[in-house]
Structure 1
């Protein structure tokens, strides 16, 4: 039955169909052998992305002192974590950091700033930063992550040359209030919809290891799929001392890989990104994760250090993968198979599909 279930999941994913809740919960349970789950997810990954790995990097534009109280975040209101705290870096400094990452293989640069959402001065700063980055690297994708957006801001970012906007849902709607009280799950959904409507590529994912149940994980995957993101970062909680979740060390490499496999089945042709916490929780099994995720962050994260970039590039090569070049398309080709010419109803002898 296990082989039949996994074959069914693969077949569905290749047709871009979502798993049933029962199938999804089976992937997360330990009743199905881990390596069988990874092998099945890998078949889907290879179909849509071959053996390419897209590299992304983060530029933390403004660190710490956030007014929001997200329990997982070292920059949150009331955080006692001894992370870097600074105001906005200059566009020139951001361009310098971005250029270094691009030369190391990064195809996307993510500009992130702590805070509830951007004000007018913040939008202008990002506009200037995008322009500075594009001087030497006009081909690089620029993703922006500034929190909750208001009217007209997404359009400003798109006009400035931003490629994508990132705003994670983080956890299921049912338990969102347990993680944050200063904004809602619905606020996050609204921002993603604003970004998408403005023509920005939607990027939204999750953080796991915060006490969520298997049902929460499936609920979140379903909610994300409804938003139709182009990229889905999968983060694993980095338990910073001085935060409400600093005591949580419940993830295992097995659990992380099952979550990644599940997200590959839910998002077969979407960029699934191996993100924060991979080094801490996957440890020596990081190369296995590359058989599920087709994208990963290179270098450091917002407030924690990542694995050295040179080690990441060796890991990618040793696992038999290649770094995706700037001129290669991350997402699969246009879905012409979804365009069906009408041959029933009015003007034909066949009944309408109503």
Structure 2
């Protein structure tokens, strides 16, 4: 029978063999696992977790190298979003404590400067919107210009919701080099998470971003009621996009949202997901993002960095506190993982 996550039940032959197959297929040839193979990895027992994480780390080192990309994020427009993403405290449809607010340009410049001072090479400007209107795009343009006028050469990314082809072109012209737009979860589970827009609408934005030459950053949130099979489905759907970066988030139940009473997933299951995603996408940057502190804690975060992760968001998230940047930088130093230099990203 197949062992459930977190259990050490009797394993079948396919499970006994999946890591051996992955070693030849992923580590040696650089070919990501199929959906069924990812599912087999996700249902490995706890007794094979150490072996799984070690293999995922080998794959990361073989196909991505030892460097870690460090990123900071800032919310330009917070709250008041018209969409009903059930996990999000910034939705205007739910009675959450978050209220709508805009960050001014001096505040944006200061945040970019502080991010650069941590050693980060990436600064992502985020807005809680369905998609950008004229005011928001003008604010982003002014913000990018002011950051550059401040002498800051940090790479600038944006996450502004769904885009039109014209808006994609504007961001390229501004010098935005990477666009984040998460698919959030597997296509089959998406209608249970969001009802005000479709998974396909998000996919179309990502397709246009890739066609325009911007780097694609696309991930999601684990722990929103999806099945283990849907986690495997999600991994291969992301792999089909061939994204430059996949942010790995774990649900932080937010007061006032439909998911406020959801339990966080167990640390071992989170580590299984990280390793499985690495084996599905051997060349992709996997970034630790929201919820890792709650799900994994300090030790688990280190295990994740040694289990396939090669990028990290430092400091706070959009509406949740993260660990102090100094703690993450100390962790990377202790693991002897060099921070990717800005010159290597240009």
Q: TM-score, normalised by structure 1?
A: 0.89
Moved beyond 3 Å, runs of 4+: 1-4, 136-139
Question: Residues 7 and 40 of structure 1 are in contact (CA less than 8 Å); yes or no, is this contact kept in structure 2?
Answer: no
Asked whether 1:182 is paired with 2:196, we answer yes
Q: Please, which of 56, 71, 96 is the counterpart of residue 110 of structure 2?
A: 96
Aligned partner of 1:9 in structure 2 is 22
Question: Residues 55 and 107 of structure 1 are in contact (CA less than 8 Å); yes or no, is this contact kept in structure 2?
Answer: yes
Larger Rg: 1
Instruction: Show CA shifts across 1:148-189 (max 9, x none).
Output: 111300110011010111100011111111111100000100
CA distance in 2, matches of 1:141, 1:279: 26
Q: How many residues align?
A: 329
Asked whether 1:54 is paired with 2:69, we answer yes
Q: Please, which of 304, 308, 316 is the counterpart of residue 324 of structure 2?
A: 308
Question: Residues 253 and 282 of structure 1 are in contact (CA less than 8 Å); yes or no, is this contact kept in structure 2?
Answer: yes
Task: Report the Cα offset of residue 137 of structure 1.
Answer: 4.8
Q: Give the root-mean-square deviation of aligned CA atoms.
A: 1.6
Say which SS state the counterpart of residue 173 (structure 1) adopts: coil
Cα distance change, pair 167–143 in 1 and its aligned pair in 2 (3 A) = same
Q: TM-score, normalised by structure 2?
A: 0.91
Say which SS state the counterpart of residue 33 (structure 1) adopts: helix
Asked whether 1:322 is paired with 2:338, we answer yes
Aligned partner of 1:149 in structure 2 is 163
Q: Please, which of 269, 290, 309 is the counterpart of residue 305 of structure 2?
A: 290
Aligned partner of 1:238 in structure 2 is 252
The equivalences for 1:198-217 within 5 A come to: 198-217=212-231
Task: Report the Cα offset of residue 9 of structure 1.
Answer: 0.9
Task: Report the Cα offset of residue 47 of structure 1.
Answer: 1.2
The equivalences for 1:1-354 within 5 A come to: 4-14=17-27, 15-31=29-45, 33-83=48-98, 85-283=99-297, 284-291=299-306, 292-329=308-345
Say which SS state the counterpart of residue 41 (structure 1) adopts: helix
Say which SS state the counterpart of residue 112 (structure 2) adopts: helix
CA distance in 2, matches of 1:125, 1:231: 25
Question: Residues 34 and 280 of structure 2 are in contact (CA less than 8 Å); yes or no, is this contact kept in structure 1?
Answer: no
Unmatched 5+ residue regions in structure 2? 1-12
Task: Report the Cα offset of residue 91 of structure 1.
Answer: 2.2
Instruction: Show CA shifts across 1:258-303 (max 9, x none).
Output: 1110111111111111110010001131101112110010100010
CA distance in 2, matches of 1:220, 1:21: 9
